[in-house]
């Protein structure tokens, strides 16, 4: 794939371009080269930049609406190619797209991917110091940056807001948009800042999510509505006329077979799935220790398996993730920390070793199987212990409001923060030590802090990687007179000075891999060198760390002022309860097709039984008419299908469908109900 337009293309666009671009271009500015994309169609940008010939279902509709300046909410299933939907229009417009996402790993991956293609993209997340954020924002504002990725809690900081007027924002992109809804399974109060952002930024919104029930979808649109619409609704008392374009692709995954097993021998069942289904797999578990045990069990049974959870250091995690992605590790046993933002098309099975807390989470995790369209399995193993556990969890997840308020005050005490101070502070929070100090139950504290996050008092980022930082503490001129005991140290100092201009003024984040390559040492040798140089008082060295961070949204409130609404508390508790109940219904269902059940939950009423889930296969699921089945097959392919696709689906489905399906299909086409087959 070419990174830039080739020379001939460039000349062609050069002629068509306007004066401003010409000027910038003569200065050799990268962004000016990129602004040539403005003269291309969306399809040409896709081809040039991603190398694809055509868009996937829904992508072009979303891009068209965004380019027309409409606010868009797109509900695209996992693996539906979300990033293309905002990256293409952003490249076609001047300015930068502000991308709000809570997923730091995804942020890093996408920024890396864009930078690799010569497109300037920058990210800001909660692990960065104020100086680093300032530097990044400055860079975003004045260096032709096309994408600024931001974690939501940054939006309301004074620093970020001070840059709003100089950032030329083309689109506000809201990834994981369901996080803005209280009714969603993953509400994050920081997301509410995005609505407030619209007061200051006049740019259309592109909101994206993989899972939203109709209620959540409506809530997302109202909360992201233009400020005028919100004000008008407040005055009139009517619902918000948000004016969003809602684009929703079908949730059907025709190649994914949902299987549910009630069993007391989960390991035995898991073993037979791993032996019976070839190719890569993911096994989800809730508990870190059990991940380790299960991986060991699979290894002992001769499978290629490894475990992954947020307790591992970042290096090990990225090594394991890469090995799994390459196929060197076949099966990953993990907590839900694994999988977000990882695009591996050929995952053949996803096994859940227990019942997840919500259909949203389940659908997303199970949906990581079979993105390449080939037959894949989503297996859920459960027994009565899981039900008991889920009910217990429900109790723990909502500690009493008194307890939550107590944790609020003690948290400030723990860090020695007096009343009426503390706003904007970022605290390395050791949950274990805190719970021990006050004799609290660790899980209850965890959920109490999570609740305080919901109520907008703070942001709680768990298991954040804090990168290695270095600052040179010796004066630049004096540096050459220092006698360093190890020749590698001189190389390292040189590399640090060349690579990190700010290093004399404040601790900067350094890339250990690049430094070790530069100096011809291993990463562990590099760390020893850095440590020894800090002993020589040449540098200040802050080693990489892995911990949880609390970010305070306002000054410490006095007792009685920590407004926690009992009404809201019980609503949230009810919504949580409903999700758990829906999940319990899913596993204990006896006659509704599994796919049908999940689609119905997401508001898609008209769908035919899938024909390949455990209930369809056993003949227990209510049968579909051949017409219904054909319609849902065509719909799941976005209306673009070939007769071969349908034939294959027909052969793998065991539904008692009419053998004369071709003539039924012809009737449906002739009466205009279905589009004719295309060659795609
Ligand atoms: Zn089914």
Closest CA to 340 of 592, 147, 82, 4: 82
Cα 486 to ligand 1 centroid, rounded to whole Å = 67
CA distance 209 to 58: 13
Angle at alpha carbon of residue 552, lines to 550 and 557, rounded to 5°:
130
Q: Give 79-85 contacts, CB < 8 A, sequence gap 24+.
A: 79/343, 79/345, 79/367, 79/368, 79/371, 80/56, 80/210, 80/249, 81/56, 82/175, 82/208, 82/210, 83/110, 84/46, 84/50, 84/55, 84/56, 84/59, 85/58, 85/59, 85/206, 85/208
Closest CA to 609 of 587, 631, 588: 631
pLDDT for 79: 65
Cα 287 to ligand 1 centroid, rounded to whole Å = 30
Q: Domain spanning 56-248: which CATH class is it, in words?
A: alpha beta
CA distance 404 to 225: 32
Other CB atoms closer than 10 Å to residue 153's CB: what's the count? 25
pLDDT tens, position by position, 285-304: 998 999 999 999 999 999 99
Cα 259 to ligand 1 centroid, rounded to whole Å = 9
Task: Give the HSE-up count for residue 338: Cα atoms under 13 Å, Cβ half-sphere.
Answer: 33
Q: How would you classify the pairing of strands 121-124 and 147-150?
A: parallel
Length of the chain: 680
Cα 639 to ligand 1 centroid, rounded to whole Å = 21
Cα 149 to ligand 1 centroid, rounded to whole Å = 39
Please, are residues 63 and 50 in contact by the beta-carbon 8 Å criterion? Answer: no
Cα 621 to ligand 1 centroid, rounded to whole Å = 7
Instruction: Report the CATH fold assignment for 391-466+548-576.
Output: Arc Repressor Mutant, subunit A (1.10.10)
What's this model's pTM, rounded to 2 decimal places?
0.73
What letter would DSSP give residue 164?
T
**Which ranges in 327-438 belong to alpha helices (H)?**
359-366, 384-397, 401-414, 431-438
Cα 642 to ligand 1 centroid, rounded to whole Å = 22
Cα 669 to ligand 1 centroid, rounded to whole Å = 25
Cα 609 to ligand 1 centroid, rounded to whole Å = 5
Cα 338 to ligand 1 centroid, rounded to whole Å = 27
pLDDT for 28: 40
pLDDT for 641: 86
Cα 616 to ligand 1 centroid, rounded to whole Å = 4
pLDDT for 63: 95
Closest CA to 205 of 166, 247, 234: 247
Cα 213 to ligand 1 centroid, rounded to whole Å = 20
pLDDT for 38: 65
What letter would DSSP give residue 179?
G
Cα 270 to ligand 1 centroid, rounded to whole Å = 21
| Surface-to-core class of residue 314, CB atoms within 10 Å of its CB (0-12 exposed, 13-18 middle, 19+ buried) | middle
Angle at alpha carbon of residue 231, lines to 225 and 233, rounded to 5°:
80
Q: Three-state SS for 93?
A: coil
Please, are residues 225 and 195 in contact by the beta-carbon 8 Å criterion? Answer: yes
Ion ligand 1 neighbours, Cβ < 5 Å: 593, 595, 609-610, 613, 616
pLDDT below 70 — which residues of the chain? 1-38, 78-80, 127, 341, 622-624, 653-656, 679-680
Q: How would you classify the pairing of strands 305-308 and 331-334?
A: parallel
CA distance 354 to 381: 6
Instruction: Scan for tokens 């948290």, then name that residue.
Output: 411
Cα 596 to ligand 1 centroid, rounded to whole Å = 7
Cα 611 to ligand 1 centroid, rounded to whole Å = 5
Q: In this structure, what token pair is assigned to residue 360?
A: 């949203």
Cα 594 to ligand 1 centroid, rounded to whole Å = 5
CA distance 24 to 307: 50
| Surface-to-core class of residue 623, CB atoms within 10 Å of its CB (0-12 exposed, 13-18 middle, 19+ buried) | middle
pLDDT for 98: 97
**What is the tally of helices (H) and strands (E) in the chain?**
29, 19
Q: Is the torsion defined by CA of 277, 281, 287, 293 positive or negative?
A: positive
Cα 622 to ligand 1 centroid, rounded to whole Å = 9
| Domain ranges within the chain, ordered by starting residue | 56-248, 252-382, 391-466+548-576, 469-543, 589-680
Closest CA to 176 of 111, 219, 127, 220: 220
Cα 331 to ligand 1 centroid, rounded to whole Å = 26
Cα 372 to ligand 1 centroid, rounded to whole Å = 20
Residue partners of 138: CB distance under 8 A and separation at least 6: 163
Cα 107 to ligand 1 centroid, rounded to whole Å = 36
Cα 266 to ligand 1 centroid, rounded to whole Å = 22
Let me know if the fold of 56-248 is the same as that of 391-466+548-576.
no
Q: Which superfamily, per CATH, for 252-382?
A: P-loop containing nucleotide triphosphate hydrolases (3.40.50.300)
Cα 258 to ligand 1 centroid, rounded to whole Å = 7
Give φ, ψ of 299 to 5 degrees: -65, -45
pLDDT for 667: 87
CA distance 106 to 341: 5
pLDDT for 499: 86
Cα 455 to ligand 1 centroid, rounded to whole Å = 40
pLDDT for 654: 56
């Amino acid at each position: 794939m070419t990174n830039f337009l080739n020379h001939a293309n460039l000349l062609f666009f050069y002629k068509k371009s306007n004066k401003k671009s010409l000027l910038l271009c003569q200065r050799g500015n990268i962004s000016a080269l990129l602004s040539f994309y403005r003269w291309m169609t969306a399809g040409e940008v896709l081809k040039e930049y991603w190398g694809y010939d055509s868009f996937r279902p829904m992508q072009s509709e979303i891009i068209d609406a965004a380019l027309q300046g409409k606010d868009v909410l797109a509900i695209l299933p996992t693996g539906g190619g979300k990033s293309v939907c905002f990256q293409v229009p952003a490249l076609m417009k001047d300015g930068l797209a502000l991308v709000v996402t809570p997923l730091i790993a995804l942020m890093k991956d996408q920024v890396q991917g864009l930078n690799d293609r010569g497109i300037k993209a920058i990210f800001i997340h909660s692990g960065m110091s104020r100086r680093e954020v300032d530097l990044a924002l400055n860079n975003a504002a004045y260096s032709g940056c096309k994408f600024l990725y931001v974690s939501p809690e940054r939006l309301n900081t004074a620093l970020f807001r001070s840059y709003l007027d100089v950032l030329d924002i083309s689109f506000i992109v809201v990834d994981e948009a369901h996080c803005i809804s209280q009714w969603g399974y993953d509400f994050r109060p920081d997301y509410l800042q995005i609505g407030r952002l619209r007061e200051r930024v006049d740019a259309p919104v592109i909101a994206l999510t993989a899972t939203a029930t109709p209620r959540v979808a409506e809530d997302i649109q109202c909360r992201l509505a233009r400020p005028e619409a919100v004000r008008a609704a407040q005055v009139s008392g009517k619902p918000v006329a948000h004016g969003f374009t809602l684009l929703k692709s079908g949730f059907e995954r025709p190649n994914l077979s949902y299987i549910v097993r009630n069993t007391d021998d989960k390991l035995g069942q898991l073993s037979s799935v791993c032996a019976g289904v070839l190719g890569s797999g993911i096994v989800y578990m809730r508990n870190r220790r059990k991940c380790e045990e299960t991986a060991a069990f699979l290894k002992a049974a001769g499978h290629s398996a490894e475990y992954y959870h947020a307790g591992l250091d970042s290096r090990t995690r990225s090594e394991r993730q890469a090995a799994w992605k390459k196929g060197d590790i076949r099966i990953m046993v993990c907590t839900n920390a694994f999988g977000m933002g990882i695009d591996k098309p050929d995952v053949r099975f996803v096994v859940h070793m227990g019942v997840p807390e919500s259909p949203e989470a389940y659908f997303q995790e199970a949906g990581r199987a079979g993105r390449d369209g080939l037959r894949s399995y989503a297996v859920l193993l459960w027994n009565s212990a899981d039900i008991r556990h889920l009910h217990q969890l429900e109790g723990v997840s909502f500690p009493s409001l008194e307890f939550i308020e107590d944790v609020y005050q003690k948290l400030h005490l723990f860090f020695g923060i007096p009343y009426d101070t503390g706003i904007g502070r970022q605290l390395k929070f050791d949950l274990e030590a805190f719970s021990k100090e006050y004799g609290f139950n660790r899980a209850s504290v965890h959920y109490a802090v999570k609740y305080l996050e919901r109520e907008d008092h703070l942001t709680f980022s768990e298991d954040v990687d804090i990168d290695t930082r270095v600052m040179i503490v010796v004066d630049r001129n004096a540096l050459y007179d220092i006698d360093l005991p190890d020749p590698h140290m001189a190389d390292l100092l040189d590399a640090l000075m060349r690579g990190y201009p700010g290093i004399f003024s404040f601790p900067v984040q350094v890339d250990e891999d690049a430094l070790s390559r530069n100096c011809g040492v291993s990463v562990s040798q590099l760390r020893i060198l850095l440590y020894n140089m800090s002993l020589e008082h040449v540098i200040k060295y802050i080693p990489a760390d892995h911990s949880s961070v609390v970010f305070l949204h306002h000054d410490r409130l006095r007792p009685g002022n920590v407004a926690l609404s009992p009404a809201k508390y019980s609503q949230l508790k009810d919504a949580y309860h409903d999700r758990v109940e829906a999940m319990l219904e899913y596993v204990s269902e006896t006659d509704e097709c599994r796919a049908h059940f999940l689609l119905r939950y997401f508001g898609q009423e008209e769908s035919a039984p899938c024909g390949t889930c455990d209930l369809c296969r056993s003949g227990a699921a209510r049968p579909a008419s051949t017409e219904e089945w054909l319609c849902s097959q065509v719909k799941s392919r976005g209306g673009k299908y070939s007769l071969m696709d349908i034939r294959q689906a027909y052969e793998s489905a065991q539904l008692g469908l009419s053998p004369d399906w071709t003539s039924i299909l012809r009737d449906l086409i002739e009466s205009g109900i279905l589009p004719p087959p295309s060659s795609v």
